[in-house]
DNA sequence: CATCGAGGTTGACTAATGTCAATTATATGG
DNA sequence: CCATATAATTGACATTAGTCAACCTCGATG
């Protein structure tokens, strides 16, 4: 359904940091050819290598970004509401480097890439927001590379748990937001290896019960994980 | 020495994609407090975690970006003339995520970050160039993550050699641009493991003689490496 | 309620990669 | 040109991580 028929969704979009400071007229241009669309779970939205026709915004549900090579696959990120994905491909008018699929029933806004690039040239405030967003994405992947190159898979898991706990109530108890096999892929390991890593973490003060995690000895866990903002702070 | 005393260096800077489309007055603002400076080899220019006071431009020589964690170190990138580094930290006014050191005698331009951010708000053309540059950097690190997560170290080396050959004359013969231990670190492996990988590549049509490399059987090497533009094309 | 199937776990094994120590090659400065 | 330091290589071994197959668990469904 065209976005213009859904003013409440349009308002939601407008509140995103990326779009909040731009001119009204430009926002209208941007959303003119936009659609709000519902997708069932496990739908492949885009495939790596395709031209970037749309900028996507996740309104509800969740989307997995992943990549393939030589029969292998890895999860690059999970996008949750409300945020955009594949902004870089859109502004560069270059092929997607990642594929995307819905993880669950999801509602997305599709903004034609053409419009994003046009408005980008017209609206300085929007351009500034794009820069901030891109810089953020860039730094996120730099941290991701450091994580992969400097840490073992056990250390990556330990830090993932600390980070997730910190950003979700800090109660030392939470439920994993994804299936373990996806978490494994995200962390750059196999499901089997994750299973074993989970077992190993018992001696460092982490209890697993299915999807439920409780950190029983925060100090012990941090001693293993040695978290640093320069890798683990999502806001840096 | 202040950049304004070195008009020829200023001109060189102006030709960079990042600065070529901006207004003259803004370019002057940007370079007002800038310095041209020579550094000996192995000087640590910045350390991760420090506030981003300057945007750096490599004019001559080469600079290694690296990161540390828990007594471990890894090479993230090597910057060669003429290009900038740590743009994202500058525009976000956030701490550096990587450290930098000169690899050899190098000449750099230091642009005060403050000025970069100011001019960014004033000059739409500059803002656009920053976006393009950041999008490029972002996509580069996404490719880097895919490379790390989807390939073994032997495959990474094989692809590195193909890529380097492709972008440097395509003669199937070239000299490694860095020490092997730095190449190893860049590829996410130990020097010992690189030594062994080099040996293994003999059976895939690559001959090493010290720093000199010749590809004797391009087809065989490609069959192992399976290069794809979505990981290996630096321009994508 | 029984069945089915996907995700998860476990064990046994293999492959990839890292570590340490010793040795050899290479480059550099006196 | 030699002395020295650093890089590179090699062998032996340890650790980390992946593979494969079997099995378990749990929820969905007929």
Q: Is the pLDDT at B124 greater than 90, yes or no? A: no
pLDDT at B54: 96
Q: Is the pLDDT at A9 greater than 80, yes or no? A: no
Chain C footprint bases within 7 A of protein beta carbons = 7-12, 16-21, 25-27
Q: A24 with A99, same domain?
A: yes
Only one residue has tokens 């012990």, namely A220
Amino acid A230 CA to nucleotide C23 C1' distance, rounded Å: 39
Which of B128, B148, B168 finishes a domain? B148
Domain that holds residue B222: 152-232
User: How confident is residue A227, by pLDDT bands cut at 50, 70 and 90?
Assistant: very high
Q: A75 with A94, same domain?
A: yes
ipTM of the complex: 0.93
pLDDT at A218: 93
For B230, name the nearest residue in chain A, comparing CA atoms only: A97
Hey, how many other C-beta atoms are within 10 angstroms of the C-beta on A24? 8
Q: A20 with A117, same domain?
A: yes
Which of A129, A148, A167 finishes a domain? A148
Q: Is the pLDDT at B9 greater than 80, yes or no? A: no
Pick from B52, B138, B234 the residue to mutate for testing the A interface (most A CBs within 10 Å). B138
pLDDT at A10: 79
Q: A52 with A133, same domain?
A: yes
Q: DSSP letter string over chain A? A: -BGGG-HHHHHHHHTSHHHHTS-HHHHHHHHTT-EEEEE-TT-EEE-TTS---EEEEEEES-EEEEEEETTEEEEEEEE-SSEEE-HHHHHHT---SSEEEESSSEEEEEEEHHHHHHHHHH-HHHHHHHHHHHHHHHHHHHHHHHHHHHS-HHHHHHHHHHHHHHTTT-SSEEE-SS-HHHHHHHHTS-HHHHHHHHHHHGGGTEEEETTEEEES-HHHHHHHH---HHHH-TT-
Mean confidence (pLDDT) of chain B:
94
Q: State the CATH number of the domain containing residue B106.
A: 2.60.120.10
Amino acid A154 CA to nucleotide D8 C1' distance, rounded Å: 31
B226 CB-near residues (< 8 Å, 6+ apart) = A69, A70, B155
B20 CB-near residues (< 8 Å, 6+ apart) = B14, B129
Q: Is the pLDDT at B37 greater than 90, yes or no? A: yes
Percent of chain B with pLDDT over 90: 87
Over range B125-143, report the average pLDDT.
94
Query: Rounded to 5 degrees, what are φ and ψ at B16?
Result: -60, 140
Q: How far is A206 from chain B (nearest CA, A)?
A: 22
- Do the Cβ atoms of A78 and A178 come closer than 8 Å? yes
Over range A59-69, report the average pLDDT.
96
Rounded CA-CA distance B12/A104 in Å is 52
Q: Which two tokens stand for residue B98?
A: 């990587």
User: How confident is residue B8, by pLDDT bands cut at 50, 70 and 90?
Assistant: confident
Per-residue pLDDT tens for A121-174? 899 889 889 999 999 999 999 999 999 999 999 999 999 999 999 999 899 999
- Do the Cβ atoms of B157 and B196 come closer than 8 Å? no
pLDDT at B182: 97
Report how many domains make up chain B: 2
- Do the Cβ atoms of A1 and A36 come closer than 8 Å? yes
**Residue A172 Cα distances to A164, A165, A181, A218, A223, angstroms:** 10, 6, 22, 8, 16
Per-residue pLDDT tens for A209-219? 999 999 999 99
CB atoms A94 and B124 under 8 Å:
no
Q: How far is B169 from chain A (nearest CA, A)?
A: 25
Q: A74 with A156, same domain?
A: no
Q: Is the pLDDT at B1 greater than 80, yes or no? A: no
Q: A160 with A136, same domain?
A: no
Q: B19 with B129, same domain?
A: yes
A33 CB-near residues (< 8 Å, 6+ apart) = A111, A112, A115
Q: Is the pLDDT at A195 greater than 90, yes or no? A: yes
Q: B144 with B195, same domain?
A: no
Q: A64 with A171, same domain?
A: no
Q: B139 with B61, same domain?
A: yes
Q: State the CATH number of the domain containing residue B186.
A: 1.10.10.10
pLDDT at B10: 78
Q: A42 with A100, same domain?
A: yes
pLDDT at B2: 86
pLDDT at B208: 94
pLDDT at A77: 97
Per-residue pLDDT tens for A100-126? 999 999 999 999 999 999 998 899 889
Q: Is the pLDDT at B143 greater than 90, yes or no? A: yes
Which of B124, B148, B172 finishes a domain? B148
Q: Which residues of A touch B131 (CB under 8 A)?
A: 91, 120, 127, 130-131, 134
Q: Is the pLDDT at A5 greater than 90, yes or no? A: no
Q: B125 with B218, same domain?
A: no
Pick from A113, A135, A185 the residue to mutate for testing the B interface (most B CBs within 10 Å). A135
Q: Is the pLDDT at A49 greater than 90, yes or no? A: yes
Give yes or no for CB of B198 within 7 Å of strand C. no
Q: Which of residues 171-230 of B touch strand D (CB under 7 A)?
A: 179-181, 191-192, 194-196, 198-199, 208, 210
Rounded CA-CA distance B86/B101 in Å is 13
Q: Which two tokens stand for residue B139?
A: 């996509």
pLDDT at A46: 96
pLDDT at A208: 94
């Amino acid at each position: 359904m065209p976005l213009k028929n859904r003013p409440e969704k349009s308002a939601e979009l407008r509140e995103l940091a990326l779009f909040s400071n731009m001119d009204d007229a430009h926002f209208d241009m941007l959303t003119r050819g936009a659609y709000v669309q519902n997708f069932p779970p496990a739908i492949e939205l885009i495939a790596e290598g395709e031209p970037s026709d749309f900028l996507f915004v996740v309104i509800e549900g969740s989307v997995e970004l992943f990549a393939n090579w030589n029969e292998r696959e890895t999860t690059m990120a999970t996008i949750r509401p409300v945020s955009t994905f594949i902004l870089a491909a859109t502004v560069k008018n270059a092929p997607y480097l990642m594929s995307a699929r819905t993880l669950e029933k999801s509602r997305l806004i599709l903004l034609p890439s053409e419009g994003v690039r046009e408005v980008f040239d017209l609206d300085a405030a929007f351009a500034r927001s794009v820069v901030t967003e891109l810089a953020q994405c860039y730094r996120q992947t730099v941290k991701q590379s450091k994580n992969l190159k400097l840490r073992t898979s056990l250390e990556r898991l330990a830090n993932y748990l600390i980070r997730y706990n910190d950003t979700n109530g800090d109660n030392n108890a939470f439920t994993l937001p994804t299936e373990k096999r996806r978490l494994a892929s995200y962390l750059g390991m196999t499901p089997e290896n994750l299973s074993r890593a989970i077992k190993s973490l018992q001696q460092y003060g982490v209890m697993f019960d299915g999807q439920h995690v409780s950190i029983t000895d925060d100090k012990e866990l941090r001693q293993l994980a040695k978290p640093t903002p320069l890798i683990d702070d999502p806001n840096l």
